[in-house]
Structure 1
């Protein structure tokens, strides 16, 4: 149960990071063709870091889960 809550939190952080990157353009406080406002630059950096770190954590969790499944599969195969 703890793992599911952790994965759900990582997914939410990832989506929040993506939203921060897209928000200046989706909401419209970054005018098209204008130089990036400080708020836009900040949103893009913070959102990119959040999305990147949470994505890396999700990949690491998935790799660990696959490793565990492979270990269990070998263990079952050895018993036969």
Structure 2
């Protein structure tokens, strides 16, 4: 996956998050994620306007391969 980074171990478990109501119509929830900045930091979710009407958020993901942990960033996709 393009833009993947290698980290020394798996991220912590995802916290339980209560998604607040959307502040305005047409906004999409982008869930939070653990990010690596020399240590694990929780990046909270947020409401945003999609880049176009047919966009949906494909969340980032962590995976383990060949003894390494990798992160693939989330991104907007077209429906």
Q: Please confirm whether the aligned pair reaches a TM-score higher than 0.5, indicating the same fold.
A: no
Shorter-chain TM-score bucket reads: under 0.3
Greater fraction of residues in strand: 2
In the superposition, the TM-score normalised over structure 2's length comes to 0.24
Query: Which one has the largest radius of gyration?
Result: 1
In the superposition, the TM-score normalised over structure 1's length comes to 0.24
Greater fraction of residues in helix: 1
